[in-house]
Amino acid sequence: MTDKLIEIRNVHKAYGAVKAVDGVDLTVGSGELFGLIGHNGAGKTTLFKMMLGLLPASSGEIRIGGRSVHGAAFRDVRRGIGYLPESLALYDNLTGLETLHFFARLKGVDRSTSPALLEKVGLVGAAGQRVRNYSKGMRQRLGFAQALLGSPRLLFLDEPTNGLDPQGILEFYRILAELRQGGVTVVLTSHILAEIQQRVDRLALMRNGRIQALGTVHALRQGQNLPLTLRVSFRPGDDKLLMTTLASLNIGPVETIDGIARFACPRQKKMALLAALTAAGPSIRDIDVHEPSLEDIFLGYAEEEAT
């Protein structure tokens, strides 16, 4: 992390008695790819809207590049931000190109950059079509192109892969990787945790308006100390040695299907177990070790909160 691009200090947002955001402190560094995850209603979108200055915070302070999102400099701040809202709605009666022209004028961006952006998101063939006739995926691509108008230094992407097909998702992350090479800072949310876990530098897990956990995926895993999942395949009818080894290390329960044993292994016992199994000779054929997924981490924190 280099300098702080986004600084959020003790921000609250209340709607009557409901605390949508309840004391969030967060800094995002310049050039970082930052993920925001959490259940629906956890406060992600509200936090997004406050960072954009669409909603005033009930208390606390948000600064983008050292400047307030509400003050006299708000136009400059906004010109440096690209935003893709979660429930994207565009104007059905405009064509793709006209849509980009319209937002380009509002952002004070030269409209000659619009065709290149459409090409970047793979919509060049549909530039002259009305948005009315676009599929959900095409609208999402157009929304992404809109966010890229004016080469912003900061992108807020709320569920950016919504409605995209697998090919589209890959292309989206390819473009995101390119942008990061250029030093663009990205804050994104996604409910598909598997999708963002290999891609974000750090993430914040939001729950009930608070940040419950914050750090790299690796650090969150360590913090949870969740067990690893192991899959061990053995010679048919020869699982005795495996079972005794597991019993001696006090690991279980074990689920066995078609010559493959599957079980959870506490992180501290991993090396001892692997040593025992490699010493066991030909009855063990193969070993797969799986780190807990972001879903597991997410659920782990949810359970922690519940207990």
For residues 285 and 283, give the distance between their C-alpha atoms in angstroms, rounded to a whole number. 6
Q: Which two tokens stand for residue 191?
A: 């409910």
- Is-contact 269 249, C-beta < 8 A? yes
Adjacency order of strands within the sheet including 260-265: 255-257, 260-265, 228-234, 284-290
Binding test (CB under 8 A) with another protein, winner from 3, 76, 165, 288: 76
Task: Report residue 160 as tokens.
Answer: 């950016």
CB of 56: closest distance to another protein in angstroms? 9
- Of 50 and 217, CB closest to another protein: 50
Q: Which amino acid is at 54?
A: L
- Sequence-separated (6 or more) residues with CB below 8 Å from residue 136: 162, 163
Q: Is 67 in the site for another protein (CB under 8 A)?
A: no
User: Tokens 């390819």 correspond to what residue?
Assistant: 174
**Restricting to residues 143-172, which ones interact with another protein according to CB under 8 A?**
143, 146
Closest contact distance (angstroms) between CB of 52 and another protein is 5
**Smallest separation, CB 83 to another protein (Å):** 4
| Contact assessment for residue 133 and residue 90, using Cβ atoms and an 8 Å cutoff | no
Question: Is residue 52 close enough to count as binding another protein by CB under 8 A?
Answer: yes
Question: Among the candidate windows 8-16, 75-83, 200-208, 291-299, which touches another protein by CB under 8 A?
Answer: 75-83
Which range touches another protein (CB under 8 A), out of 74-82, 208-216, 287-295, 298-306?
74-82
CB hemisphere CA count around 116 (13 angstroms): 9
CB 272 within 8 A of CB 249: yes
Closer CB to another protein, 2 or 93, in the complex: 93
Site string for another protein, 31-50 (x = CB under 8 A): ------------------x-
Binding residues for another protein, total number by CB under 8 A? 26
Structure-token match 């200055």, residue found: 53
The sign of the CA dihedral 209, 86, 214, 67 is: negative
The answer to whether 74 contacts another protein (rule: CB under 8 A) is: yes
Please identify which residue in 87, 112, 250, 268 interacts with another protein, judged by CB under 8 A: 87
Task: Find the part of the chain contacting another protein (CB under 8 A) among 2-10, 68-76, 201-209, 277-285.
Answer: 68-76
Q: Which residues bind another protein (CB under 8 A)?
A: 49, 52, 54, 72, 74-76, 78-79, 81, 83, 85, 87-91, 93, 102-103, 105-108, 143, 146
